[in-house]
């Protein structure tokens, strides 16, 4: 399924991660066409860093005037122009240049992810897990996009401000570097303590949040079925425990942040109080520190408090985002094409299994005790049963993802273990539509056609016609050139997008795992009618009101499948 070498590190999702060196190489390639933007950002950041010193300089001049010194008119005029004209103009230009450069990098990053995902064979995506590619090409790109578009301008500016602050303090006198050095040392020590704890706490919070959302979603969509099965109270208790784990994880994150805030307070306090302590401790006389210089150092310390706080935030964010970079560029190590399809001649039933048992490793009881069912080409069947009865397990066996304990499972005469990699007369033999819709950070058209640019105008017109024919009303009027992400499309639209992709390139057998949630009986009928003749489908269904749309119903109960008659609508 993938050609990456054994030494490539795998992420928690089982897909490869890029090395830090590979991340830097890819970022250098992406930033290559935008060197002018990078140079402009750096130059403007340096200029903004110089203008950051206007405030402490003004404070120093005001202090000198208060002591009765004669004003230096050119200096005051220059500071006024810098404060009221140059500083806002340069700051705005720096933000615009750095943001433009960051957005260009984000666009290149998204394009890279889209091309890598579109270069994968659908069978390889199914085998490896579609939701993993959705996470990498959509969620990770969006998180990295926030860092490069918003964080990059801030990071460049903060670096320039810190650099020129050191130069400014050194020019005032070597003694003034002591508070700055102490503040930097305290901050560095605090970061060394905080960063690993922050990352671990954030990962626990993300895991707990996903578990809590999953439990709440189960209650919201399957409460009635859980009650019928007698599991509602247990599900509620499990949900409460998941919410408690989420609250505990959030408390750990806040505890880490609170403890570091104490160190950060000491560091920023040293910037403000340090110059005043030095002025009091150093001997008076010719070598004494001037009041105006002390005022400049204190004013700079006040300004640097915000700089240190923002710098700490972005350092933590970079740490948490580096895994996203490694995940995105790790797509390079996933084999660009799936296994070479096996050319077969379809024969016999679309789906056939006879007395198939299955037990998960270590389980005391079998999930399936002897499943037998037959589905002819062109037939559409529903698979029903209580939650936990093994419906998804059976579909994964039919898809070749799980191997039964014994017995034979075939799709159009081909063993299920090879059906995912088989083609017949130029069509995929079988495709498995799992519960989570698969999408990547391309356009709607690219997600349907799996073609860069979203296909030709004729292709797009045919897609729109198919949307109307299948009654996918959530997609009617949708711009096929629009972005396809969870932020741009609803969960229902993303689910219908997965259906549309299957209808556009229908295989001989389709396995639907809870793909029709929320559909009415009429909508279900139109979707099945849009499937070309000869294509068979087996669908896990929880909403029994749509069962009349199917040709037959199989009920899975106590590990055994039994056929049921189709009841008229409303019964």
Query: Would you say residue 158 has pLDDT above 60?
Result: yes
Query: Would you say residue 4 has pLDDT above 50?
Result: no
pLDDT at 47: 82
- Determine, yes or no, domain membership for 6: no
Domain stop point among 292, 310, 333 = 333
State how far the Cα of 375 lies from the Cα of 373, in Å rounded to an integer: 7
Is the domain of 277 the same as that of 411? no
pLDDT at 5: 44
Query: Would you say residue 21 has pLDDT above 50?
Result: yes
pLDDT at 571: 40
- Determine, yes or no, domain membership for 388: yes
Cα angle, residue 516 at apex, residues 512 and 519 outer, rounded to 5°: 160
Query: Would you say residue 3 has pLDDT above 60?
Result: no
Q: What CATH number is associated with residue 508?
A: 3.40.50.300
Domain range for 236: 20-333
pLDDT at 93: 81
Strands 422-424 and 342-343: parallel
pLDDT, one tens digit per residue, over 489-535 is: 777 777 788 788 888 888 888 888 877 766 778 888 888 888 888 88
Query: Would you say residue 130 has pLDDT above 50?
Result: yes
Q: In 415-567, which ranges are continuous DSSP H helix?
A: 416-419, 444-449, 457-470, 491-504, 521-530
Is the domain of 100 the same as that of 230? yes
Q: What CATH number is associated with residue 295?
A: 1.20.1560.10
pLDDT, one tens digit per residue, over 163-177 is: 888 888 888 777 878
State how far the Cα of 396 lies from the Cα of 401, in Å rounded to an integer: 5
Is the domain of 322 the same as that of 361? no
Is the domain of 234 the same as that of 203? yes
Domain stop point among 300, 316, 333 = 333
Domain count along the chain: 2
Task: Find, among 388, 426, 395, the residue nearest to 409 by Cα.
Answer: 395
pLDDT at 122: 62
pLDDT at 126: 60
Least confident among 18-27, 276-285, 349-358: 276-285
pLDDT at 214: 62
- Determine, yes or no, domain membership for 215: yes
pLDDT at 39: 83
The verdict on pTM exceeding 0.75 is no
- Determine, yes or no, domain membership for 1: no
- Determine, yes or no, domain membership for 311: yes
- Determine, yes or no, domain membership for 10: no
Tokens (6 digits) for 231: 């599991």
- Determine, yes or no, domain membership for 64: yes
pLDDT grade for 228, boundaries at 50, 70 and 90: low
Is the domain of 359 the same as that of 413? yes
Is the domain of 267 the same as that of 374? no
Is the domain of 357 the same as that of 323? no
Is the domain of 363 the same as that of 496? yes
State how far the Cα of 512 lies from the Cα of 491, in Å rounded to an integer: 17
Query: Would you say residue 288 has pLDDT above 50?
Result: yes
pLDDT, one tens digit per residue, over 199-209 is: 777 777 766 77
Domain stop point among 333, 351, 379 = 333
Least confident among 299-308, 354-363, 435-444: 435-444
Give the orientation angle of helix 20-31 with respect to helix 87-118, to 10 degrees: 110
Average pLDDT over residues 282-309: 73
pLDDT at 260: 80
Residue holding tokens 């008659």? 565
Annotate 67-136 with DSSP letters as a single string.
TTPPP-HHHHHHHHHIIIIIHHHHHHHHHHHHHHHHHHHHHHHHHHHHHHHHTS-HHHHHHH-HHHHHII
Is the domain of 348 the same as that of 446? yes
Is the domain of 421 the same as that of 288? no
Query: Would you say residue 2 has pLDDT above 50?
Result: no
Average pLDDT over residues 121-149: 68
Percent of the chain whose pLDDT exceeds 70: 79
Is the domain of 328 the same as that of 358? no
Which of the pair, 439 or 316, is modelled with greater confidence?
A: 316
Is the domain of 216 the same as that of 104? yes
pLDDT at 1: 41
- Determine, yes or no, domain membership for 8: no
């Amino acid at each position: 399924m993938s050609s990456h070498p054994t030494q490539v590190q795998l992420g928690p999702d089982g897909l490869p991660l890029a090395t830090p060196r590979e991340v830097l190489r890819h970022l250098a390639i992406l930033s290559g066409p935008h060197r002018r933007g990078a140079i402009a950002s750096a130059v403007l950041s340096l200029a903004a860093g110089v203008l950051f010193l206007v405030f402490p300089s003004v404070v120093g001049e005001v202090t000198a005037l208060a002591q009765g010194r004669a004003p230096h008119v050119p200096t005051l005029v220059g500071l006024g122009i810098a404060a009221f004209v140059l500083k806002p103009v340069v700051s705005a230009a720096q933000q615009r240049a750095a943001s433009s450069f960051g957005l260009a990098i984000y666009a290149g990053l998204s394009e890279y992810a889209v091309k890598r995902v579109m270069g994968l064979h659908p069978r390889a995506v199914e085998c490896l897990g579609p939701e993993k590619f959705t996470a990498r090409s959509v969620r990770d790109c969006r998180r990295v996009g926030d860092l490069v578009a918003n964080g990059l301008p801030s990071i460049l500016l903060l670096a320039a401000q810190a650099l020129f602050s050191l130069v400014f303090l050194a020019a005032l006198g070597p003694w003034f570097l002591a508070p700055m050095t102490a503040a930097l040392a305290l901050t560095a020590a605090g970061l060394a303590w905080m960063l690993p704890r922050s990352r671990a706490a954030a990962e626990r919070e993300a895991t707990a949040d996903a578990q809590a959302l999953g439990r709440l979603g189960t209650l919201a969509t399957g409460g009635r079925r859980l009650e019928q099965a007698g599991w509602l109270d247990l599900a509620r208790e499990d949900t409460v425990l998941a919410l408690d784990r989420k609250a505990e994880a959030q408390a750990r994150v806040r505890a880490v942040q609170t403890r570091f805030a104490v160190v950060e307070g000491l560091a920023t306090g040293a910037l403000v109080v340090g110059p005043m302590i030095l002025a009091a401790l150093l001997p008076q006389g010719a070598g004494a520190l001037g009041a105006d210089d002390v005022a400049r150092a204190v004013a700079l310390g006040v300004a640097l408090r915000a700089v240190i706080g923002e710098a700490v935030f972005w350092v933590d964010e970079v740490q948490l985002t580096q895994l996203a970079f490694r995940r995105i560029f790790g797509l390079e190590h996933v084999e660009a094409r799936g296994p070479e399809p096996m050319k077969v001649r379809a024969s016999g039933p679309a789906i056939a299994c006879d007395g198939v048992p299955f037990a998960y490793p270590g389980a005391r009881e079998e999930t399936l005790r002897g499943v037998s069912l037959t589905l002819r080409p062109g037939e559409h069947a529903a698979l029903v049963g209580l939650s936990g009865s093994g419906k998804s397990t059976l579909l994964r066996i039919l898809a070749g993802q799980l191997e039964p304990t014994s017995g034979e499972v075939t799709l159009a005469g081909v063993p299920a273990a090879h059906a995912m990699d088989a083609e017949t007369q130029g069509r995929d033999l079988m495709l498995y539509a799992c519960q989570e819709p698969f999408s990547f950070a391309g356009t709607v058209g690219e997600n349907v056609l799996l073609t860069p640019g979203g296909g030709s105008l004729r292709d797009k017109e045919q897609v729109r016609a198919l949307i109307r024919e299948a009654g996918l009303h959530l997609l009617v009027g949708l711009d096929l050139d629009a972005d396809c992400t969870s932020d741009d499309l609803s969960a229902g639209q993303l689910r219908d997008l997965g259906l549309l992709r299957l209808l556009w390139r229908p295989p001989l057998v389709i396995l639907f795992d809870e793909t029709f949630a929320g559909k009415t009986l009429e909508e279900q009928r139109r979707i099945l009618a849009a499937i070309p003749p000869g294509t068979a489908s087996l669908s896990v269904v929880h909403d029994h009101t749509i069962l009349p749309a199917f040709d037959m119903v199989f009920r899975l109960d106590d590990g055994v499948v039994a056929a049921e008659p189709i009841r008229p609508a409303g019964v």
